[in-house]
Amino acid sequence: MGFTPLCNALFATKGLFPNIPDIFLSNGARFYLDIGKHPEYSTPEARDLDDLVYAVAAGHRIIDDAANNAEVKYRSDGKDVRIKVFAYNWHRNNIEILIESALNVGLEQTVGTHENYLLSRSVPFKTLVSILLPFFSTRVIYSGSGLVLPEQYGRFEISSRAGFIQENVSFSTETSRGICNTRDEPHADKKRFRRSHVIVGESLMSDFQKKLTYGTTRLVYALIELISQSGNNPLKEVCGLRDPVGTLQQISKDLTLTQEVCDYGKNRHTAIRTNRQYFEAVSSNTYLDTIRQMVGSYDFDWTVYHWDRVLSSLEKDPMSLHKELDWVIKLSNFQEMISSKGSKWDEMAPKLHQAYHRVHPENQLFEGLVKMGKVMVLHPDRKHRIQQAMDNPPNGTRAEARVRIMKELLEGGIYFDADWSTINMINQSRVMMPDPRIPNVDYYPPTVLHKSQ
């Protein structure tokens, strides 16, 4: 069984235009076939961290729904096919779709989990890379999803991505993977904006961890813009990190986080100390007020508070974060479960790791731990928020405007195609949306339609 028929089935009931393998969903996300013929869900644009966190969770449910629909389609054709979707790093990427057929023919396909951040075009790429490399190398202490290596007797690592990173900077996202990626498609006005494409991230299940990971990274990007403008870099020592890739991989293996693996020539620091220097720069009197204004006071205050708290907890006792961080949640609960059953770690841990990342909520270990109160939730109405994020775009975003316009065109019987920043109609009219930050959907009234040249 080839993968293309599966993709066709996945797209059969999704989006505003069914059966087309490049579609925008009613929540503003894009669901499409990417390079390598793998299905990819890309979240809608988001301004608030909570909106982004639940848009990611919604993507898991949307893909699971698509997989269920694909199973029904295959069975109606007399084919006994079972599709399991996992969101984790097992075969170099983060979301794996495993297909099992009655003919005992299996196919595995992976889909990466990447992050994208918008920033000013004025920031030199060299400045961007020099500040990001040490940050991404050490961010893994609270952004790692945890990894069980069955081929190495169940050895556990903090990061499920670190072992597959090969370069500091790379152009490719599928072969020579780098900590920083050179892709520069802003999906916006390219004269004003740059889209920083992050492929070193991991597929996370913990909502708290997602919010902390995206939040800290967002603050660092804001800091980079200000450093670029002022020319005053408080992170000069940090930018001298030797061998960022090797550092990332060493950190992933150090579950105590006590080893001084960050080599600056004359000095060596722990990952915690290096990452704390970013926290101190962001929260300093020099930048605090401006960054809070750039990202919003609620997101800034939440992120700064928990960034500091998590770094302190990791320094004192990483296992104290057994409700917040995926890698600690796994290590703590897997040890407890295996001990209670009298089993061996190397035999049972890989199975628990797979169950933890099963996307279907009824067959997912992670959701079971949530119900048992063993995982921190951001909001008591979590299920409702995820459902809302499946059906609706984030408020006050370009995604909201794009969905509204597309629905109006469909209702009017006007055919069109769309990408992130443009909607082209069959009558050669076009809607341009060059600024992803525009918060008001009324910015794009019908009067903006103009004849394309």
Q: Which residues are catalytic, by number? A: 34
Q: Classify 339 in phi/psi space as left (phi over 0), alpha (psi -120 to 50) or beta.
A: alpha
Cβ contacts of 322 within 8 Å, gap of 6 or more? 328, 329, 331, 332, 333, 374
Give a three-class secondary structure readout of the chain: CCHHHHHHHHCCCCCCCCCCCEEECCCCCEEEEECCCEEEEECCCCCCHHHHHHHHHHHHHHHHHHHHHHHHHHHHCCCCEEEEEEECCCCCCCEEEEEEECCCCEEEEEECCCEEEEEECCCCHHHHHHHHHHHHHHHHHHHCCCEEEHHHCCEEECCCCHHHCCEEEECCCCCCCEEEECCCCCCCCCCCEEEEEECCCCCCCCHHHHHHHHHHHHHHHHHHHHHHHHCCCCCCCHHHCCCHHHHHHHHHHCCCCCCCCEECCCCEECHHHHHHHHHHHHCCCCCHHHHHHHHCHHHHHHHHHHHHHHHHHHHHCHHHHCCCCHHHHHHHHHHHHHHHHCCCHHHHHHHHHHHHCECCHHHCHHHHHHHCCCCCCCCCCHHHHHHHHHHCCCCCCHHHHHHHHHHHHHHCCCCEEECCCEEEECCCEEEECCCCCCCCHHHCCHHHCEECC
* 196 and 221 Cβ atoms separated by less than 8 Å: yes
What are residue 59's phi and psi, to 5 degrees? -60, -40
What are residue 48's phi and psi, to 5 degrees? -105, 145
